[in-house]
A and B are shown apart, each in its own frame.
Chain A
Amino acid sequence: MANPYIRVHRTIARHRGWQWYRLIPVLAAVAALPLVNDTWLGFLPKDSGVPPDAYAMALSVAVGRLSNLIAAAVILASYSALVRGPDRAVLDVHPIRARELVTAIARSTVKTQLYLVGLAGVILLPVAQASGFPVYGAALMLVVSAWAGALGVGFLVHLGGVWAAYSERLEGVLDALRGDNPRMQAALIYAPGVALVMVGVGTEFGSMGLAAWLNGWTLGLLWLMIPAGLGLAAWLGVGSLAHRYYVRASLLLAEVDGAWAHADESEHASRVYLQGLAGQRPELLRALRNGWRSHRLFATGGWVLGFLVLVVSWNDPASAAFWGAGAIAWVSGVAPKMASVDPRWLDDALGVRRSDVLVARAVVAASYSMGVLGPVGVSLSIRHGGVGATVALGLLGLTIVTAVSGAWAAGAWRRHAQWTYSAIALVAWAGFVRVWG
């Protein structure tokens, strides 16, 4: 094997052993599927004699949405691996062969994200039952195509983000977009969104191809490969960008982190989002600071998702329940994420009560979820009266359940908390959709 980075990744994988916990979401999907099936794929006929063209459009839209969700997960994973991954921290003081290193990182990302294909395979099982395996295979092919496309496009766009951060021509654009963030960080912040739009366009064509194939146009099957083709084309440009920008990304990150460290020293920035909630409770203050400084995506992302759910479900409380619950389940994932950078030895050394830490993380998760619950709950209550208010109350209950279970998973499972929580969240979401959807 000529690539030393691949070989070292293999050695690491051998020492680390089988990462059984990556199967947790797949098993959780098996458990959740019966609960959510009527809402998720409720259009599928009970009678297998119904021809697929009768529900082609609904199926292609549902599979397209699933493909986009999977693509989003892969794009975020590619960002974590390529930009903030462990290889960069270790190799920053050594000479590197960037093309080979990025190839090795991509290979590792493929392996760690394969569970998403398994997850999609489970989620789509009702299609096999209702429509037969050819339709199931085609639907799964679109998901796999989006998954592969997200890998190639994700790597290209994240490296392109480094170029954009240094580009003088884009200074004005980045200044307009950056908000309170350092200018150079804006390029990295928006890179996943750009990648998702690119893959999303490909997925849309793939989805149209699926509908066309279900309606009898054989060549529609080829369209399913459009996202993967996009990813392959993007990958062809990755080597060149890696050579020019992989190392420069380290300088960029040092600049961004340095800017934040400086900002955090100033009086204004020493206050964090929702700090007023802490009062005289130091554990809650620590959790709020940890959440805002290390995982602010959950706080800001909650508001973004809240308004997106509001828009897509304005006329439909059931849709608000489906998407709003999913958004809340995701935002509450901040609690287990916090545990990953919050060392237990510190709690032990300080004599902090574990229950205080659990409550603090739960409060942070619930508070961040208000970004979803606020806009969705208000719009439901105003637009749909009593029915809407009931769904909003249900979402509040779900917020409490997911926030507490996220905090519990964080305390009990620590390193694997995110995987455990994802299983709990998936089942909680499915149960909620079953009752309220």
Chain B
Amino acid sequence: MNTTAIALNGLRKEYGRVVAVDGIDLDIGRGEFVGLVGHNGAGKTTTIRMLTGQLAPTSGSVMVAGADVVQNPAAARAVLGTVPEHPTLYEYLSAREMLEFVAEIRGQGDVDWALGVAGLGADADRLIREYSQGMRRKTALAAALVAKPPVLVLDEALNGLDPASADRVVGVLNELRQDGATVVLSTHILDTLEKVADRIVLMENGTIVIDGGVDRLEAARERLRSAD
């Protein structure tokens, strides 16, 4: 049985002469919780956008659960739950309607559970256009989680969440991981990763400079600090 959930092979992205991601290789196993860290501009978001099929690589390939995200985006999207850096939602739906819709197009989903995880229960029937930025981010997170997809890729998904909500979300991600889901979480909050991550990947200038267990977290922290 293939135990690789995500495989990045020689992944490279160029914009003219600017190299945003410089030929990275990364294998992430099923059930792994990976913290993707790095300064702004290190290449995290570009990597995540290629990983989730929102951006085509200049060269290299991305496989998610055995499906090439460029050649077979439908198969890749079916197993991916994604929170992009700037999530977009239907402004004239309520969070509940949005999640019901996502559950329907994904063929399954537990709307009440996802609303509870995101802490949106009391506001679930208000229109999203009335939401604060934090509530919108919670809705996007709930939409990524609602069908409990086997691979979760979350770009700064904890930004804008209050500490209690962030703790609750991290707890749920940890539970999903224990049930076999793969989680890639891009974040600036390294303390969060210390509690749940199996593996830390630090990016700098489009390359991976640290890839190891949480015991490498202090080295990553030091490297980020020295780069400031």
Interface residues in chain A, defined as those with a beta carbon under 8 Å from any beta carbon in chain B: 4, 7-8, 11-12, 15-16, 86, 89-97, 247-248, 250-251, 254-255, 258-259, 261-263, 265-266
Q: Which of A90, A95, A96, A261 contacts B90 (CB 8 A)?
A: A90
Would A8 and B70 count as touching, CB distance under 8 A?
A: no
User: What's the nearest-Cβ distance from chain B to residue A90, in Å?
Assistant: 5
Q: Which of A16, A90, A93, A248 contacts B77 (CB 8 A)?
A: A93
In whole angstroms, how far apart are the Cα atoms of A11 and B128 in the complex? 13
Q: Enumerate chain A residues within 8 angstroms of B78, measured Cβ to Cβ.
A: 95
Would A94 and B102 count as touching, CB distance under 8 A?
A: yes
Would A16 and B92 count as touching, CB distance under 8 A?
A: yes
Q: Mark B62-102, 1 if CB is under 8 A from A, else 0.
A: 00000000100110011010111001111011000100011
CB within 8 Å of A: which of B6-25? 15-16, 18
In whole angstroms, how far apart are the Cα atoms of A92 and B140 in the complex? 12
Q: Looking across the interface, which residue of chain A has its beta carbon closest to that of B79? A: A95
Q: Which of B49, B77, B93, B97 contacts A94 (CB 8 A)?
A: B77
Would A12 and B93 count as touching, CB distance under 8 A?
A: yes
Q: Which of A8, A251, A266 contacts B55 (CB 8 A)?
A: A251
Would B54 and A92 count as touching, CB distance under 8 A?
A: yes
In whole angstroms, how far apart are the Cα atoms of A21 and B38 in the complex? 47
Would B105 and A262 count as touching, CB distance under 8 A?
A: no
- Assuming the contacts A94-B105, A97-B105, A251-B55, asked whether A89 and B88 have C-beta atoms less than 8 A apart, the reply is yes
Q: Mark B95-115, 1 if CB is under 8 A from A, else 0.
A: 001000110111000000000
Most buried by B among A92, A97, A261: A92
User: What's the nearest-Cβ distance from chain A to residue B37, in Å?
Assistant: 22
Name 7 interchain pairs, CB-CB below 8 A, sorted by A: A8-B101, A12-B90, A15-B127, A94-B105, A251-B70, A258-B15, A259-B16
Would B88 and A250 count as touching, CB distance under 8 A?
A: no
Would A247 and B54 count as touching, CB distance under 8 A?
A: no
Q: Enumerate chain B residues within 8 angstroms of A265, measured Cβ to Cβ.
A: 18
- Assuming the contacts A93-B77, A95-B78, A259-B15, asked whether A12 and B92 have C-beta atoms less than 8 A apart, the reply is yes
Most buried by B among A16, A94, A254: A94
In whole angstroms, how far apart are the Cα atoms of A254 and B73 in the complex? 15
Would A95 and B74 count as touching, CB distance under 8 A?
A: yes
* 7 nearest CB pairs, A to B: A262-B15, A89-B88, A93-B82, A95-B77, A15-B92, A12-B92, A251-B56
Q: Looking across the interface, which residue of chain B has its beta carbon closest to that of A258? A: B15
Prevailing SS type, chain A contact patch: helix
Q: Looking across the interface, which residue of chain A has its beta carbon closest to that of B101? A: A8
Q: Enumerate chain B residues within 8 angstroms of A263, measured Cβ to Cβ.
A: 16
Q: Tell me how many residue pairs across A and B have CB atoms closer than 8 Å.
A: 78
Would A258 and B55 count as touching, CB distance under 8 A?
A: yes
Interface residues in chain B, defined as those with a beta carbon under 8 Å from any beta carbon in chain A: 15-16, 18, 49, 52-56, 70, 73-74, 77-78, 80, 82-84, 87-90, 92-93, 97, 101-102, 104-106, 127, 143-144
Given A15-B93, A92-B88, A93-B52: 14 more A-B contacts, CB < 8 Å: A4-B105, A8-B93, A12-B93, A15-B127, A92-B54, A94-B77, A94-B106, A94-B143, A95-B74, A96-B77, A251-B53, A254-B55, A254-B56, A261-B15
Would B15 and A90 count as touching, CB distance under 8 A?
A: no
Would A93 and B90 count as touching, CB distance under 8 A?
A: no
In whole angstroms, how far apart are the Cα atoms of A34 and B18 in the complex? 58
Q: Enumerate chain A residues within 8 angstroms of B77, measured Cβ to Cβ.
A: 93-96
Q: Enumerate chain A residues within 8 angstroms of B143, measured Cβ to Cβ.
A: 94
Q: Enumerate chain B residues within 8 angstroms of A92, measured Cβ to Cβ.
A: 54, 84, 88
In whole angstroms, how far apart are the Cα atoms of A84 and B216 in the complex? 43
User: What's the nearest-Cβ distance from chain B to residue A270, in Å?
Assistant: 14
In whole angstroms, how far apart are the Cα atoms of A254 and B70 in the complex? 13
User: What's the nearest-Cβ distance from chain B to residue A91, in Å?
Assistant: 8
- Assuming the contacts A96-B105, A263-B16, asked whether A8 and B144 have C-beta atoms less than 8 A apart, the reply is no
Q: Enumerate chain A residues within 8 angstroms of B70, measured Cβ to Cβ.
A: 251
Q: Enumerate chain A residues within 8 angstroms of B83, measured Cβ to Cβ.
A: 93
